[in-house]
Structure 1
Amino acid sequence: MERHDAIVIGGGLNGLTAAACLARAGASVLVLDRNSALGGAAACGEVAPGFRVARYGLGLAAMPQRLVTGLELHKHGLRFRRLDPGVTLLPDGRHHASYRDGVIHRRELQRFSAKDADAWTRFRRDMLAAASKLRPVLEKPMRDPSRRSLATYRWLRDLADRFASLDTQEFHELTRIWTLSCAEFLDGYFESDAVKARFASSALGGSTLGPFSPTGARFLIAPFMEEHEGASGGAPAALLPIGGPEAIAGALVSVILAHGGQVRREAEVTDVLVRDARARGVVLANGEEIHARAIISDLDLKRSFLTLFPWKALPDGFVEKIGRFRMRGVTAKVNLALEAAPEFPAVPAGCPALAGGIRLGQTMEEMEAAFEDWRDGIPPSAPIVDALVPTIADPSLAPAGKHVMSIAVHYVPETLHDGPWTDERKAALTDLVIARLSERSPGLAERIHAVETLVPPDIENDIGLTSGDLNQGELTLDQLFFNRPMAGISGYATPIRDFYLCSASAHPGPLALGGAGANAAAVVAASLGKRGG
C-alpha cells in the first residue's frame, strides 16, 4: 500500500504552495489533481494553437515576496516583470494611465484635478499604513478561537496587543476603511469623478459588493500589500509572471520534486478514507487507495466536504453550516487570439502603462447598476471590463507578431433569473464585450483569430470551483479572518482529525496568493513533527 506523510488534494497554487513548504520541511508529499494542467484558477490554456493565455484569471499575479524568496522560486525559473499598472479608457475619449513613478503618476492625476494630484500622496500614505497593519495578519496561520489551547491564548493576546498599540488616529482611519463604501471613502480624498471611479472599479472587480456597498473600501488596500516604498511613490506595480501564471505552478512543482515530493496529474480523488474518526487516506476514481498521515484539501470548502465524505461521517449540523457558506460566481472570462496588436488611439503611442492592463471606465452609478443587475441575476449590459494583452511584455505567449488578450468581465451572474446560460447567451456576452472594447480599439474585431468565453458555470465544470467562484467564498467581513471559512474551522484543521483545508476558502483567502497553502503547511508540519513549513 502506497503511503506518504501528506497527500494534497488539488494542484491549485495554494495546494502546490502547501506541498512545496512541506516537502522543504522534510515531509514525503504527494499532490493529486484531476486535471492535466496544474494551477487551478491560475491555469493557462491555448485559445488556438500557439496562443496561450490565463484561462480563468486576468494573468497578473502578485505572490507575496516572502513566499517567492522563502521557497527560492527564482532558482526554479520563476521571473516577474514589474509593469506600470494599466490604463483606464474613459467614455468621453480621454484616458487615465497609472505609473509606478510618483512624479509621473501625480502629473497624470493633475490632468484631471490639481487637488487630486496633491491628495494622492495622502491616499498612498494611508493605504500603506493600512497594508502594514493587515500584512502580519495574512502572513501567519489563523487560530480558531474556539479551540482552547496555550497557542490560541497567545494568539488572542498578540491580537489584543496589536489593537492596543494603535493610537486614536490610526484606529479611526482603520475603522473608516473597514466600514465605509468605496464611494464614500474615496470622496474623502479626491474630487474628480473619473479618478474615483477608476480606483473603485480596480478595487471591486471580482467582488460581490458595489461601489456604494458598506465595507467595500477595504478592497482598496489590496494593491498596496507588496508595496514597500514611501508615500512619495506612484501606483502599485502590476506583476506579470513570465510564461503566464502557470509559470508559478511550474516553479512550485519544481520545488516539490527537488525535495522528494511527487505530483500526479489526471488523478481525481473521489473519497477520503475515514477510520476511527480520522482521515487515513484517499480513494482515486480508478479505485486506487493511497494512505497518508495528513490529508490536505485545496478544493473549496463545499467540495472538500460535500463531495469527498459520506455526509453521515460529518458531525451533526456540519453539512448545514457548510451550506450557509456563501459562494457566488461574479466573473466571466473572454480570451482572444489576435492576428495583430490591438490599437488604442486615445492613448499616446508607446505608453508603457498599456502593458499593465486596460480598463473600460464607468461612472460610480453605472458600476452600481451593473452590481444590481448581477445581484438580481440579470444578464450584464454594462459590466466592469478589465483586459490585459500579456504579449506586450511577454511575446512568448503567442506566435511571432501575434498577440493574446485576456478579458475579465465582472458582475456576471452564475445563474440568470430567467434560465441557464445557453450558447446563444454566451455569444451575446462575447459580442457585447468585443463591441465595447472595439469602441476604444477600432479594428479589434477584425484582428480576432479565435475566441473563448467562459461564464461561471463553465469555470465550475472545468476546474471544480463551486458556483464558478474564483475567490472560493465571498469576501464579506463575516467570511474573513477567524470566520473564514466559518467559526470552528478557521485554523485549517477540521472536525475530521488529520484532514486540513488549504484552499482560498481558508484564511487569508485570495488576499495573499499562496498564503492559505503556506499557513496550512505550517500547521500540518507541526502536527507531523517536522521542522516547519
Structure 2
Amino acid sequence: MNKPYDVIVIGGGHNGLTCACYLAKAGLKVIVLERRHIVGGAVCTENDLIKGYKIDVGSSAHIMIHLTPVVKDLDLEKFGLEYIDCDPFAFAPMPDGKGAIYFWKDVDKTCESIAKISPVDAERYKKFVLEWEKLNEGVFQAFLKPPTMLNLGRHMIFGTKSKNPADMVRKLMTSYGALVRETFVHEGLRSAMAWLAAQSGPPPSAMATGDFLGWHSMIHRSGVKRPKGGSGELTQALAKCLEHYGGTVLLNAEVEKIEVENNQTRGIVLQNGTRIEAKRIVSNAHVHTTFLKLIGAENLPDGLAERIKNIRIGNGFGMIVRCAVSELPDYKAAPNGGKASVCHHGLQLLCPSMDYLEKSYADYLNGIPSKNPSALAMTFSSIDPTLAPAGKHTLFIWGQYYPFELSNGERWENIQDREADKLIDMVNSYAPNVKNSIIERFVQSPLDLEQRLGLLRGNVMHVEMDFDQMFMFRPLPEMSAYRTPIKNLYLTGASTHPGGGVFAASGYNTAQVILKDIKGKWFS
C-alpha cells in the first residue's frame, strides 16, 4: 500500500461513500477506510443482532436523498439498490383511539384523512404544503451547494417563489412549536407535526427552527422510501459502485492518526501500523474525532483546537429499541388483528400532545431520561418480507429525549432495559398487543450509539442542529464549505452542511469542492 492514492476517505458512512463514488467516477484513485466490519456507519443493516432478522443499527427511513441526484447519478439500482415506497408515509393515531391521520404522498388524500378529524385543518394543511413547498424548492437547492452567503441568499431568499418573502423569513426564524400552533388547530395534528419536526433534535421552543416543520411539505414530493433488505442496502450499493469505478473499500481499518506536516496532510496511519499516503484526505468522522483525536490539538493552527472544542455536541437526544415480533401493532385507532395494514407502512407517530413533548424535553434538560417519552414506531417488514422470517416482523421504536450523560449518578449500562420497557409501554398504550408480541429485542442507548457508530455523546446529528451551528456556521465558518484550515484535508458528513439524516448532500457537495480544487470544474 505504499503507492499514493489521490484521495483517502476516512469512514464508510453514506456521505463518505457518496463523495468517494463521485471522485472515483471522475477518474481519481480513491480508498475508503472503515473501522467496522461493514460499511455504512449510521446507515447500516446487520444480520447477526437477532438471528433470522435484518436489523438496522442507525437510520431507517430514507427521505431527503430522493431530493438529490445521487441515486440516479451513480446508477445505484445497477448495484442492487431497490427502493420500496412507504405510503402512507406517516400514521398518527389519536391517543384515545378515536380516529387517526394518514399522511399520504398525495396531498389531497392526506387532506381527506385530516378532514375526518378536523375539517378546518384539512384546508390549512393544503395551504401549508403549497406555501412551504415553494420556499423549500429554494432551500433544497441551497443544500446541494457549499453554504456561502451568496448561495444561501440566491436560493433561500431571492430564489423562493413565495409572494411574501419577508413573512417566509419570519417563519424560518420562529420556533417550530410556535409555527405549529399558528398554522393548525387540532391537537392531534399539531402533535404529529411537532413530533416529526422534533426528529432533528431541538425542542418545539427552539428559535429559528421553522423549517424543521416546513420541510415536511417536501415529503409529498420525495415520499418516504426504504431499501429492500434494510437501510444498509444503500451503503452496500455505494460500496459496489465505488469498486466498479476502481475505488477500494478497506474494512476493519481504524485510523489511528492523520499525518500533518507544515499544516498539510501527508497520509494516515492505521491502528495496525500500516501507513497510507494520499494527496488529499476526506474525513467522514465526527469533527471532534477528526481534529482532536486523529490529528491532535497540538498539531492544529493556533486557536483552532479551542474553537473546535466549543462546537456543541449536545447531550444525546434519543434511543431506539429494535424488536423481533410475532405480529404487528394492533392499533386501537386502526384495528388490524396484528396483520399488515396501511398504518404500518411508514412512520407511526405516537405523541399525545405538544405539551407532552415539551415535558419530555424538560426531563432531558435536567439530565434524566424522559419520564413519558414520545415514540416513533417503524414496521418496515409489513412492506418488505425479506426483513424477517415468514409470519414474523420487525418493530423499531425510536424515543426522545434521552441524555447521554445522566445527572442522577445512573449509568446507561444499568438502566437501558428499564428505559426500553418504558418505550415499549408507550407503544403498547396505543396498540395493546405489542408487549406480548416481542420475541427478542436489541437496545441502542445513547451510549451504544457512541460506541457502535462513533456518534459522540449519542448525537445522531453529530453536532447540535441549532441555527448558530447550521449553514455557513456548520461546524465552523472556516470549515463550512468542506475545506479545512489544514491544506488538502476536507470534512464531510453530518458535522457539516446541511447536517444529519439520510441525505448524501454533504458527500455530494464535498466531491464537488474537491474536483473543483483538482480539475477546476465540477464533475459532469
Aligned pair partner of 2:331 in 339, 344, 355? 344
- Using the alignment, how far apart are the partners of 1:480 and 1:466 within structure 2? 18
Which 4+ runs in 1 deviate beyond 3 A? 58-62, 158-169, 223-228, 348-351, 530-533
Name the CA shift for 1:287/1:477 in 2 (closer, same or farther; >3 Å): same
1:93 aligns to 2:97 (yes or no):
yes
Q: Secondary structure at 2:462's aligned position in 1?
A: coil
**Deviation, structure 1 residue 180:** 1.6
Distance 1:376 1:426 in 2: 18
- Report matched runs for 1:457-468 at 5 Å: 457-468=447-458
How far is the alpha carbon of 1:223 from its aligned partner? 3.3
CA contact (8 A) 1:206 1:331 kept: no
Amino acid paired to 2:234: I
Alignment of 1:135-146 (within 5 A): 135-143=140-148
Confirm whether residue 393 of structure 1 aligns to residue 371 of structure 2. Answer: no
> Could you say which residue in structure 2 is the equivalent of 1:477?
467
The answer to whether the 8 A contact 1:71-1:255 is kept is yes
Distance 2:458 2:430 in 1: 29
Match of 1:196 in 2: 190
AA partner of residue 39 (structure 2):
L
- RCO greater where, 1 or 2, for CA within 8 Å and sep 6 or more? 1
Amino acid at match of 1:75: K
| Pairwise CA distance, 1:71 | 1.2
8 Å CA contact 1:17, 1:517 repeated in 2: yes
Q: SS in structure 2 opposite 1:93? A: coil
The answer (yes or no) to whether the contact 1:57–1:408 under 8 Å persists in 2 is no
1:522 aligns with 2:512: yes
Amino acid corresponding to residue 52 of structure 2 in structure 1: G
Q: Residue type of the partner of 1:199?
A: M
2:121 to 116, 124, 127: 116
Shift in Å at residue 314 of structure 1? 0.1
2:257 maps to 271
Distance in structure 2 (CA, Å) of the matches to 1:440 and 1:471: 29
Q: Please tell me whether the aligned partners of residues 206 and 330 of structure 1 are also in contact (alpha carbons under 8 angstroms).
A: no
Kept in 2: contact 1:256–1:262 (CA 8 A): yes
* Deviation digits for residues 483-528 of structure 1 (CA, Å, limit 9, x no counterpart): 1111211111111101100111111112661111111111112223
Distance in 2 separating the partners of 1:10 and 1:446: 39
For residue 478 of structure 2, give the secondary structure of its aligned residue in structure 1.
coil
For residue 311 of structure 1, report the CA deviation from its aligned partner. 1.8
Q: CA RMSD in A?
A: 2.0
Aligned to 1:331: 318
SS in 2 for 1:48: coil
Q: What's the secondary structure of 2:225's corresponding residue? A: strand
Alpha-carbon displacement from aligned partner over 1:43-97 (angstroms, at most 9, x marks no partner): 1224311111211334444413411111111221212122211212222113222
SS of 1:359's equivalent in the other structure is strand
* 1:351-389 CA-partner distances (Å, limit 9, x unpaired): 424211212122111111111111221121111210101
* Amino acid of the structure 2 residue aligned with 1:423: E
2:268 equivalent among 282, 307, 318 = 282
Residue pair 2:374, 2:426 contacting (<8 A) in 1 also: no
Q: Which runs of 5+ in 2 are unaligned?
A: none
Describe the shift of the 1:225–1:5 C-alpha distance in structure 2 as closer, same or farther (beyond 3 A).
Answer: farther
Tell me, in whole angstroms, the C-alpha distance in 2 between the residues paired with 1:118 and 1:59. Answer: 28
Quote the residue 1:408 is aligned against: 398
Residue 18, structure 1, aligned to residue 8, structure 2: no
Structure-2 change in CA distance of 1:2 and 1:72 (3 Å) = same
Q: Percent identity?
A: 28
Matched with 2:179 is: 185
Structure 1: unaligned runs, 5 residues or longer: 146-154, 229-235
Q: Deviations over 1:126-168 (max 9, x none)?
A: 120121120111011234x7xxxxxxxxx46x83697456688
**TM-score in terms of structure 2 length:** 0.93
The range that moved more, 116-125 or 254-263, is 116-125
SS of match in other structure, 2:397: strand
Matches of 1:161 and 1:88, distance apart in 2: 33
For residues 31 and 75 of structure 2, the distance between their equivalents in structure 1, rounded to whole angstroms, comes to 20
1:214 is the counterpart of 2:216: no
Distance in 1 (CA, whole Å) between partners of 2:263 and 2:49 is 46
Please report how far the alpha carbon of residue 420 of structure 1 lies from its aligned counterpart in structure 2 after TM superposition. Answer: 4.1
- In 1, Cα distance between equivalents of 2:117 and 2:384: 32
Residue 134 (structure 2) aligned to one of 98, 123, 129:
129
Per the TM alignment, residue 439 of structure 1 is displaced from its structure 2 partner at its CA by 2.0
For normalisation by structure 1, the TM-score amounts to 0.92
1:378 counterpart SS class:
coil
- What secondary structure is seen at the aligned counterpart in 1 of 2:440? strand
Note the alpha carbon deviations across 1:281-313, whole angstroms, 9 max, x for none.
100000000000000000011011011113221
Give the secondary-structure state (helix, strand or coil) at the position aligned to 2:506: helix
1:72 lines up with 2:75 in the alignment: yes
CA distance in 2, matches of 1:439, 1:201: 17
CA distance in 1, matches of 2:388, 2:334: 24
Matched residues in 1 for 2:155 and 2:101: separation?
Answer: 42
Number of matched residues? 514
Specify whether residues 342 and 162 from structure 1 end up closer, same or farther in structure 2 by C-alpha distance, changes over 3 A only.
closer
Question: Mean Cα displacement is larger for which, 291-300 or 215-224?
Answer: 215-224
Letter matched to residue 284 of structure 2: D
Residue 532 of structure 1: how far off its partner (Å)? 3.3
In structure 2, relative to structure 1, the CA distance for the partners of 1:467 and 1:340 (3 Å cut) is same
1:373 aligns with 2:378: no
CA contact (8 A) 2:7 2:30 kept: yes
